Amino acid sequence: MSASAPNEPAAESGPPDDHGGGLFRSALKPGVRRREVWAWAMYDFANSGYTTVVITTVFSTYFVGVVAAGRPWGTLAFTMALSLSYLAIMLSMPALGARADARAGKRRLLFSSTVGCVAATALLALVGPSDIALALVLLALSNYCYCVGESVVAAFLPEIARPDALGRVSGWGWGFGYFGGMLTLGLSLGLVGWASNRGAEAHQYVPYVMLLTAFMFSLSAIPSFLFLRERSAPSNRPAQGWLKRLAGAWRETGEHFTDFRLLLVCGAFYHAGISVVVTLAAVYANQAMGFTMAQTMVLVFTVNIAAAAGALTFGHFQDRVGHKRALTITLWGWIAMVLVAYSAVQVWVFWIAATLAGLCMGTSQSAGRAMVGGLAPSRRLAEFYSLWTFATQLAAVVGPLCYGLVTWVTDGNHRLALLITGLFFVGGLVVLARLDFARGARVRDTVSM
């Protein structure tokens, strides 16, 4: 499909009134309509159901407790399958992103990854007790496709938002996305409650939850493919192999984009901690706090409400006070959350920690995506966002794997594993202190790659 030059109004932009109120006029680039922003945010709405139900809540608990029958290595096996999918993303995504930039093909890559994730999620309905290999293969495949889509849709952010509004527009997407996760989780909770009241066991109702999740993902993603436009011109850079592109991108960031590289390292640290919360919150609630599956689903529902509130409100704050200061505040919030959760013996204290986790999750994920948009060259958006994906997926390998190893070595000490997770947020703060965002933005505008 054709693409207009970056930062130029599209021919069909229409009159300024098409953008609606002043809130949108001040945040969106010329030619971007409210319908397109809604379509972009709808993808966050669509894919959040997958992470909330499959990775965080239902399937993670189902695998550890039913498929693996509560064996000590269950959590480690689950995290290793995810880690393998993250490793595949780390190796392949920079080349996929560069290829999408070269051909102005972000939409095509987004569509193919969505089909893959929906299909693999639906196939998880076939997993029953002791189907360990099938469960791990489908989990890794669905998560790989999810990560590709998440990276590609983020690369549209700098095309629709003005540079001084990246935080708030990113927050709109994340906040709207959490509502999508809550919708799918709420429907799943209703299904689980209905089935449980009729005496059904987990292996009987979880397959229907997987089918429901796949359906909601596919339905909610439709607006993204109808209305989201490709605006960046093709970079026409020659295609390279996975490892060669990855090595070249790392070398280029070190030579020309040092602050972007610092952001990558910072993101790798703090996302390692976030990945533990996203991947293992349900397992921790079940194993350390004794929550049932229904209680855990209500817990995650509450976390998503807090995350949506954080993402929707924090973006405006981020644009006012600056990206670096905003991210620093939210990382301190993560450290406080870990300490509260570690000390929680009573259930109400754990609920406080969960609410803090939700607030910090919405703010830190939104802030990181906006910061990448502020430092990425306009013709290499998919590639630079794929480098961010590399960093966050490296974190997704290291964080949950460290958590799983600690629980394995300590014979199931989930509290100690969570406390060690706090060190990742400390590392993120240390690296962030060295980052100069204004300098990185100047380099973005002056260096031609």
DSSP per-residue letters across 194-239: HHHHTT--HHHHHHHHHHHHHHHHHHHHHHHHHH----SPP--PPP
3-state secondary structure of 28: strand
Dump pLDDT digits (tens) for 192-250.
889 988 888 888 899 999 999 999 999 999 999 999 888 877 766 666 665 676 677 77
What pLDDT, on the 0 to 100 scale, is given for residue 241?
Answer: 63
Q: What is the DSSP letter of 76?
A: H
Band (395; pLDDT cuts 50, 70, 90): confident
Distances (CA, A) of 372 to 69, 163, 417: 42, 11, 30
Q: How far apart are CA 97 and CA 387, in angstroms?
A: 9
Lowest mean pLDDT among 130-144, 228-242, 400-414: 228-242
Task: Over range 429-442, report the average pLDDT.
Answer: 89
3-state secondary structure of 32: coil
Task: Over range 328-342, report the average pLDDT.
Answer: 90
Report pTM.
0.75
Nearest in space to 288 (alpha carbons), one of 180, 192, 406, 183: 406
What pLDDT, on the 0 to 100 scale, is given for residue 323?
Answer: 83
Nearest in space to 311 (alpha carbons), one of 257, 353, 252, 370: 370
For the chain, counts of helices (H) and of strands (E): 17, 0
161 strand-pairing partners: 28
Tell me the CA end-to-end span of the chain in Å, nearest whole number.
23
